Amino acid sequence: MGADLEGLSAIVLSHGHFDHCGGLEYLLEGAADLPPVYVRRSAFEDKQAVNADGKTYRKIGIPWREELKERRRELLERSLRWSGDQMEILPGVHLLGNIPYTVDFEGRPGNFFVETGGAHRPDYMDDEQLLVIETEKGLSIFAGCSHPGIVNCVEYVRKCLPGRPIYSLVAGMHLLNSPRARVEQTIEALRAMDIPVLVPVHCTGILAIARMKEAFGETCRLAEAGMVVEI
């Protein structure tokens, strides 16, 4: 797209899935240095998803974990910063992790696992983190996939940064394969939050995005590849 990636202040990896981290390998090509790369430690676990047969698994973790050449690996490792549960990485720029499950209709993911020593345990995505930026109009929230549930995510922001209005929410909301009832519950919860700018993307799914556009009108902005969001 011709975007200039020089002079970045920081890079934030939302969670350890291939479609949210894999592109970083290409930024390393020809780079003399990288800005700080913020990621939670558990993002580097051997993340897998169960296949439709319910018996076999496929890898969905960070694809460049074992494939980087030595110089690029050294460059990346020098830049890695382990994210905490709540930290301010730049003035007015916050990372929030370890998102709790508190909303009754947003259950834990059931098809994600971590393999350790040949055994699989459920992956409840404690590596997922939110980016929150303070603006003159309020907080701008960015979420990669919202695996713990988008309502849980927003409520966690409210808890960690209390007393501040939320101005915008740009998020994958992981509603792609959710039943309509779950989508409607999410819409009603977001409506009660009265967020002025709502941008559902990625794993929200086209049907849920369309329903949100119908429900919220001009409050819901439709985004596409190459769109610039200025805050």
Tell me the per-residue pLDDT of 180-220, one tens digit each, with 9 for 90 and over.
999 999 999 999 999 999 999 999 999 999 999 999 999 99
pLDDT above 90 covers a percentage of the chain that reads 77
Tell me the per-residue pLDDT of 217-226, one tens digit each, with 9 for 90 and over.
999 999 988 8
Residue 228 covered by a domain: no
**Which tokens in the block code for residue 198?**
């709502």
CATH of the domain at 171: 3.60.15.10
Question: How far is the C-alpha of 178 from the C-alpha of 48, rounded, in Å?
Answer: 20
Residue 195 covered by a domain: yes
Residue 2 covered by a domain: no
- Between 71 and 132, the more confident residue is 132
Q: Which domain, by its residues, includes 147?
A: 11-219
Residue 226 covered by a domain: no
Handedness of CA 187, 151, 83, 67 (dihedral sign): negative
Burial class (CB in 10 A: 0-12, 13-18, 19+), 73: middle
Residue 5 covered by a domain: no
Mean per-residue pLDDT of the chain: 93
- The pTM of the full predicted model, rounded to 2 decimals, is 0.93
Q: How many domains does the chain have?
A: 1
Residue 72 covered by a domain: yes
For residue 138, pLDDT beyond 70: yes
Strands 119-122, 112-116: pairing kind: antiparallel
Query: pLDDT band for position 65 (50/70/90)?
Result: low
Residue 99 covered by a domain: yes
**Which tokens in the block code for residue 227?**
């769109």
Q: Per residue in 202-229, is it b (16+ CB within 10 Å) or e — as a string?
A: bbbbeebbebbbebbeebbbeeeeeeee
Q: Where are the beta strands (DSSP E) in 64-216?
A: 80-82, 86-90, 93-97, 112-116, 119-122, 129-135, 138-143, 166-172, 197-201
C-alpha distances (whole Å) from 196 to each of 18, 77, 137, 145, 176 are: 31, 39, 10, 20, 23
Residue 51 covered by a domain: yes
